[in-house]
Amino acid sequence: MDNYSLETNCLHAGYHPGNGEPRVLPITQSTTFKYDSTEQMGRLFALQEAGYFYTRLANPTCDAVAAKIAALEGGAGGVLTASGQAAIFFAIMNICESGDHFISASALYGGTFNLFSVTLKKMGVSVTFIPPDSDEDTIKAAVKPNTKLVYGETVANPALNILDIETFAKAAHDCGLPLFVDNTFPTPVLCRPFEWGADIVIHSTTKYMDGHATSVGGCIVDSGRFDWNAYPERFRGLTQADDSYHGVVYTRDFGKVAFITKVTAQLMRDLGSSPAPMNAFLLNLGLETLHLRVPRHAQNALAVAIFLKNHPKVSWVKCPALEGDTQYGLSCKYLPNGVPGVLSFGVVGGREAAVSFMDALHLASIATHVCDARTCVLHPASHTHRQLSEEALEIAGVRSDMIRLSVGIEGINDIICDLDQALSFV
Ligand SMILES: *Cc1c(COP(=O)(O)O)cnc(C)c1O
């Protein structure tokens, strides 16, 4: 889009109505699209012409929202999926098949950890977890002949490790591999991983992008910069003919949007995970105020972190924006305008005290959610990460006394008063 600022793109990117057309992005609530000739419909199916024919593959409302997110990230193209999990799965399976391998920073969202360590393994795709603070040599040492990509979360949920994107990108690129980054927590308002060398960005749009806890969704964005053709054997699915499309070669025929076109035309076609157009519409409403909400989340979270740090009943606080935090240096580099509104802490008295505290909250709600406009809390060890063994919890960076607090955009004094009164029950 014409070099508009991020703020303007939050409102305008992706949808440009013509004369007399609806000002607000229309919800194209239709499974199918009508054509006058069999010939034209045939060209669409052969990917020789761009257009819509069935919402399982693509839909105008969803495409407009994907284009907006791609503009916000500074990418060449994007695609929406029905959930963040689907976005991660499709992004990986777009270049991996049975027998392949990838490398991931171990500090991950619980669902991603299970996807990688259990479900992808069953499908024959193996992963090596490396420490999130690995240096270039450690990353490179994990590369095998069948490795296809390196993966990490910009700000890990819930461990809050910050990925040194530049180091990971350099190590990956030196080995001819793309870096995939889950940028769910910062959103492009706080960090744009492509500017630091990432190649594919993934989002659970369920979090800040939607922002109001209405719709589960995901998005994959491609920077358009990774040269798949430089390693034609490694990325055969992109560089060689797709028999299911009469010999389409994605890199040859679609250039910078090869990766996204393959996800859409092949994986969405075969596995089916497109969001409802109505959900894409709701996501778009959230995106229109993303640039206003995310900085307020960051500001409130820092105030809460400072309050907790000074409270006698709080044993530890993890917030990358706090001076002295292990991630403070990386947060200054990658998140100079503030950190996501999610922080974690422990209360004096461990697991049981944590439960008493949570049950005494009035304003903050216990919810399996983060990055909502409303403040919410969760106990990862008994909720999101419940399936993980003590050892796996440790690898994922989750302590059993950890309370995860997602700071909302309510009045900061109300949030702090609520935490204060609940801490008196500890
Ligand atoms: C929530 C989340 C996911 C999963 O997304 P869903 O939309 O719930 O499927 C993936 N990564 C991160 C960092 C998340 O916070």
Q: Among 112, 207, 383, name the best residue to mutate to test ligand 1's pocket (greatest count of ligand atoms within 8 A of Cβ).
A: 207
CA–centroid distance, 393 to ligand 1, in Å, is 17
Q: What percent of the chain has pLDDT over 70?
A: 99
Going by the DSSP 8-state scheme, the letter that residue 111 receives in this structure is H
Q: How high is the pLDDT of residue 379?
A: 84
Q: Indicate the SS3 state at residue 302.
A: helix
Q: Is the confidence at residue 1, as pLDDT, over 60? A: no
Q: Which atom of ligand 1 is nearest to the CA of 88?
A: 10
Return the best residue to mutate from 69, 81, 89, 109 for the ligand 1 pocket (most ligand atoms within 8 A of CB): 109
Describe the chain by its helix, strand, coil percentages, rounded to 5: 40, 15, 45
The pLDDT of residue 396: 66
Quote the ligand 1 centre to 88 CA distance (angstroms).
Answer: 9
- 245 has pLDDT over 90: no
**To test ligand 1's pocket by mutation, which of 157, 191, 273, 385 has the most ligand atoms within 8 angstroms of CB?**
157
Distance of CA 85 from the midpoint of ligand 1 (Å):
6
Ligand 1 atom nearest to CA at 218: 7
CA distance linking residue 48 with residue 230, whole number of Å: 25
- Average pLDDT along the chain: 95
Mean pLDDT value across residues 22-28: 98
Cα–Cα dist 417/128, whole Å: 44
- With cut-offs at 50, 70 and 90, classify the pLDDT of residue 393: confident
CA of 84 to the centre of ligand 1 (A): 5
**DSSP per-residue codes, 314-374:** EEEEE-TTSTT-TTHHHHHHH-TT---SEEEEEETTHHHHHHHHHHT-SSSEE-S--S-SS
At 355, is the pLDDT very low, low, confident or very high (cuts 50, 70, 90)? confident
pLDDT-based confidence at 270, cuts 50/70/90?
very high
Q: Reduced to 3 states, what is the DSSP secondary structure of residue 421?
A: helix
Rounded to the nearest whole angstrom, what is the distance from the C-alpha of residue 92 to the centroid of ligand 1?
15
Q: Which residues contact 245 (CB under 8 A, 6 or more apart)?
A: 46, 47, 265, 266
Q: Where are the domains of the chain?
A: 6-286, 292-423
Q: What pLDDT score does 325 carry?
A: 96
- In tens, the pLDDT along 368-380 reads 889 999 999 998 7
Report residues whose beta carbon is within 6 angstroms of any ligand 1 atom: 83-85, 109, 111-112, 153, 157, 182, 184, 204, 206-207, 216, 218
Domain covering 6-286 assigned CATH 3.40.640.10 in the classification: yes
Q: Whose CA is nearest to atom 8 of ligand 1?
A: 84
Q: How far apart are CA 390 and CA 386, in angstroms?
A: 10
Question: Does the pLDDT value for residue 246 go beyond 90?
Answer: no
Options 2.40.420.20, 3.30.420.10, 3.90.1150.10, 3.40.47.10; which CATH number does 292-423 get? Answer: 3.90.1150.10
Pocket test for ligand 1, best of 151, 206, 219, 378 (most atoms within 8 A of CB): 206
Lowest pLDDT segment from 42-46, 181-185, 336-340, 345-349: 42-46
- From the centroid of its chain, how far is CA 162? 14
Q: What percentage of residues in the chain have a pLDDT greater than 90?
A: 85
pLDDT in tens, 63-100: 999 999 999 999 999 999 999 999 999 999 999 999 99
- In this prediction, residue 221 carries a pLDDT of 98
Span from the CA of 362 to the centroid of ligand 1 (angstroms): 26
195 class by beta-carbon count within 10 Å (0-12 exposed, 13-18 middle, 19+ buried): middle
pLDDT per residue as tens digits for the range 137-160: 999 999 999 999 999 999 999 889
**Which structure tokens are listed for 255?**
């250039």
Which ligand 1 atom is at minimum distance from the Cα of 157?
A: 13
Average pLDDT over residues 336-350: 94
Distance (angstroms) between ligand 1 centre and the Cα of 110 equals: 9
List, for residues 299-321, the tens digit of each pLDDT value. Answer: 999 999 999 999 999 999 999 99
Q: Is 268's pLDDT higher than 80?
A: yes
